Amino acid sequence: MNKEAMRRADFKTGIILIVLSVLVLVETSTFPMTDSYGGVQNVWYVSPALFPLIIGGVLLVLSVVLLANAIREGGHRGGAGTLSPRRLLSPSEHTVRFGTILLYLLAYVYLFVPYVDFALATFLFLFPFALSFYVDRPDILKKMALIILGLSVIMAVLLLSGVWPRAVESFEYAFEIPLAVLAIAVPVYARRLIGDDPLLARRFLITLIVAIASPLFLFLAFRYGLRVQMPHEGLVADAAEAIRYFFRTPGA
C-alpha cells in the first residue's frame, strides 16, 4: 500500500475506530459503577467498568489522532471512488483473489465444518481451494469459486429455512450423500477443464492426493489419536467406525 492509499485507509479506520470506542464507552457506562453486581454499595475503583473506561478512552484519543493525521495528509480526499459501480463490475485481480480466499474460508468455517462430516467438509474446501491457486488459471479459479458460492447459498438457505435440520432428523445422510457425489464430481469436472497440459495435470494430481490424504489423516489423528470428537461426524466418521468395529478383535 502506498502512502496516499494508506492515509485514505487511515481516514476510514479512524472513523470506524472512533465509532467503536464510543460504543465501548457507551456500553461500559451501563456497568455498575459504585454498586457491585450483587447490588451492594461499593467504591468506584472496584468497578468492572474502570478498566474498559480507560481502554475506551485511550482508544478514542488514539483514533482521533489517527483521523486528524489522515485528514492533514489528505486522506479524506479521493476515497469516495473506491465503491464506484465500474470498480465493482471489473474488480482488480488482487480483489478477485482476496474475495475467493475469503469465500472459501467463510464457507468452510461457518457452513461446512459445523454441519457436514469433517473429512468430507475438508475435502470440499481443500480441493477446489488449493487447485484454484496451484493451477493458477483464472477460468478454473472462477468456476471453482462459483461452485462453492452456489453450494454455500444453497446450504445457507436450507439451514435458515429449517429444511436441513428437519431432513437430517429423518435421514442422517440426507445431504451428505449429495455432497459426497459433489466431492467426486468436482475433481472430475476440474480434470476436464484442465485438458491435456502435462504440468497442470501433474498439479491436479498432487492437489487431489493432498486434498484426500490430509483430511483423512487429520480426522484419524484427532479422532483416534487425540480422542477429539469432530465438530460433525457423519458419513466418513461412521464408515471409519464401522471399519474399526469390523476389525476389532473380540473381547479386546
Partner 1 sequence: MYVIDQFTSFGLSLYATLISPVNILVLVGATLLGIIFGALPGLTATLGVALLTTLTYGVPTETALIALLSMYVGAVYGGSYASILINIPGTAASAATALDGYPLALKGEAGKALGLTTTASFLGTMFGMVVLVLLSPLIIDLALQFTSFEFFLLAFFGILISGTLSSRDLVYKGWIAGFIGLFMSTVGRDRLQFFPRFTFDISELDAGLEVVPVLLGAFGIPQIIKVLVNRQPLARPKEFARILPEWGTIARNAKHIVRSASIGVGIGSVPGIGEDIAGWVSYGVARNTSKHPETFGTGEVAGVVSSETANNACIGGALIPLITLGIPGSPPAAMLLGALMLHNVTPGPMIEFEHPGFILELTAILLLASLAMWGLGITLAKQVVKVLKLPAQVFMPVIAVLCVIGSYSLGLNVFNLYLMIAVGIVAYFLTEMEYPISPLVIGVILGPMADENLRRALMVSEGSFAPLFQRPVCLLLLVVIVLTVMSQIPACKRAKERLTDRVLGRKPRNASMDVD
Least gap, CB of 79 to partner 1 (angstroms):
13
Q: Which amino acid is at 130?
A: A
How remote is the C-alpha of 33 from its chain's centroid? 38
* ∠ Cα 132 135 136 (to 5°): 70
CA distances from 41 to 30, 48, 237 (A): 16, 14, 55
Question: Where do contacts with partner 1 occur on this chain (CB under 8 A)?
Answer: 1, 6, 9-10, 13, 17, 24, 27-28, 31-32, 36-37, 43-48, 50-52, 54-56, 58-59, 62-63, 65-66, 69, 94, 97-98, 101-102, 104-106, 108-110, 113-114, 118, 122, 125-126, 129-130, 133-134, 136, 203, 206-207, 210, 214-215, 218, 222, 226-229, 231
Give the CA-trace dihedral at 18, 21, 22, 27, to 10 degrees. Answer: 160
Give the residue with the Cβ less far from partner 1, 77 or 85. Answer: 77
DSSP-assigned letters across all residues of 6-24: HHHHHHHHHHHHHHHHHHH
Q: Is 3 left (phi over 0), alpha (psi -120 to 50) or beta?
A: alpha
Give the residue with the Cβ less far from partner 1, 13 or 182. Answer: 13
Least gap, CB of 246 to partner 1 (angstroms):
26
SS3 35: strand
Give the residue with the Cβ less far from partner 1, 110 or 189. Answer: 110
Residues 6+ apart with CB under 8 A from 91: 99
Whether 110 and 194 have beta carbons less than 8 Å apart is answered as: no
Give the residue with the Cβ less far from partner 1, 110 or 173. Answer: 110
What CA–CA distance (Å, rounded) separates 54 from 194?
58
Give the residue with the Cβ less far from partner 1, 122 or 152. Answer: 122
Give the residue with the Cβ less far from partner 1, 126 or 236. Answer: 126
Least gap, CB of 247 to partner 1 (angstroms):
25
Least gap, CB of 114 to partner 1 (angstroms):
5
Nearest CA-CA partner of 147 in 88, 104, 101: 104
Whether 133 and 125 have beta carbons less than 8 Å apart is answered as: no
Least gap, CB of 128 to partner 1 (angstroms):
10
Give the residue with the Cβ less far from partner 1, 83 or 246. Answer: 83
Least gap, CB of 183 to partner 1 (angstroms):
15
Least gap, CB of 152 to partner 1 (angstroms):
14
